[in-house]
Structure 1
Amino acid sequence: MVHSRELLFLGTCFGRQEAHRRTQDVLYVALKGSLRLRTGRGRPTTVRTCLVPTGLWIDESILSTSQAVVAVYFLAPFSQDHPALASLMAEALPGIFCNHPHEDDVVSAMVEVRRQPDISVGTALSRVREPLFPDHVRNLEFREYDPRVVHVARRIRESLTANMTLAELAEEVHLSESRLEKLFKEQAGLPVTQYRMRYRVFISTIIMALGYSVTEAALLAGFSSSAHLSRCYRAINGITPSATFLQPPYVHAVLAPSAYRLVEPLLESQSVV
């Protein structure tokens, strides 16, 4: 399920896992089975929910999802979602949290949504978010984001094919390149270049979900080739786009209108609508 700022994957079977670096705050939920997480003392423990921050390298020595049917909720960047969830969960390692207090209700909501293939993305996310974010944390501001960083992130999204340089972005917010790079990484968890790559992968995901090939998605999202997209996609998600969209088990993709609007100008510019 793809929204303009969020993505929710609801698994139906045990999946393979490859080491990769997270480029977005993610909540893992074991819909069946359990996740295996290393604790602060180095000992593994089993959990059903795990919150992982942007920038963290994930492999089986830290978090193993191989014994679980997993839901993966990619949280909206520059939102209060990650700090709100962190306030509810127990810290297992620096930046990694586990054991959501209402995880039974979270799992039930996700399974119910998975059983309704025709449900709208908005309705699905509302149902999932209700147990995830109890009343006492909704609408609270846990973290303040620098408006200059938010502006740069928006310009990156708006100028995907223009590929604005760091110097051009820094000039727009009246910062030096080094200061912008440092501030952006502090707040987004990623350097500017990696944030741009993450967003291009996200856009390519939407395009492929609409039925376009990996090659078409790569060129429309600003990659030099399908191989370039595949490398970046694998680095971010731990799987290749062909494994996601072209091979069993097939993904049933549901797009919100807001997600389609993100790619509509790209499709129109190439006359492939």
Structure 2
Amino acid sequence: MFILASALFGLFFLFLTGNYIESPKEKALKRELENMKFQYEILNKKMNEAEAVLANVADRDNNIYRVYFEANPIPEEQRRAGFGGINRYKNLEGFDNSKLIIESNKRIDILQKQIVVQSKSLDEIAILAEEKEELLAAIPAIQPVSNEDLTRMASGYGMRSDPFTKVRKMHWGMDFTAPRGTPIYASGDGVVVRADSGSSGYGKHIRINHGFGYTSLYAHLYKYNVRKNQKVKRGDLIGFVGSTGRSEAPHLHYEIFKDGNRINPINFYYGSLTAEEFSKLLESASLENQSLD
């Protein structure tokens, strides 16, 4: 009876304390679970840091890069959009820590999508930067006759007195007076599309297609230093001042076209003139004197 009572008491004791006594395997699993929770905490901290860095890049992308390169900003909804439709995390349900696991996976998926969106945006910015560099090189941004060789700026863009008829009419370019044979320089990168005297009034003249809708024209030349279809860079010597065509004296008649329309060349000399030189040129160009062609 004593032995039986002892056995029953022992079984009863084990039953009562079974939930409090851990086997080595249970202890190992518990340590593994605690370690997993710790690792998830570290992962969440890393995700917080990644989200902060990505948010900073996105902010600069929208408010600096895309503004500078004249691209529309990417809407926040597009950057942070989640995943609709089917339940992508159904296989993670039903576990003790399902909520933690699912939430972490959602954040990782959204981060990955944001990285893809940002990566594509930076690819677009890189292309725009290359085009911007080409545009900046192509824009006719220097004076075609150097100040050292210039006698004076004879006439500007606007209503001027015609040297032959003395009637006021629109003068579509700028006249730079210089001795015959004075070098003329390409005002921007481009391709020579004309180097001939086949256009009425211009005499020997050169037209350069700069791309992006810009064309520059150099008229009344003495002789050429380029030929048709030749590629030129800004500052290349393309010809020499003369007085061919409808011209009263040696000078360069210079025009700029944008999308086929003549525009005032005075706005395109930021690449070669100081502020003081530009101010003097602006003053001379504004005088309503007589043109030379």
What band does the TM-score fall into relative to the shorter chain? under 0.3
Normalization by structure 1: what TM-score?
A: 0.20
Larger Rg: 2
Normalization by structure 2: what TM-score?
A: 0.19
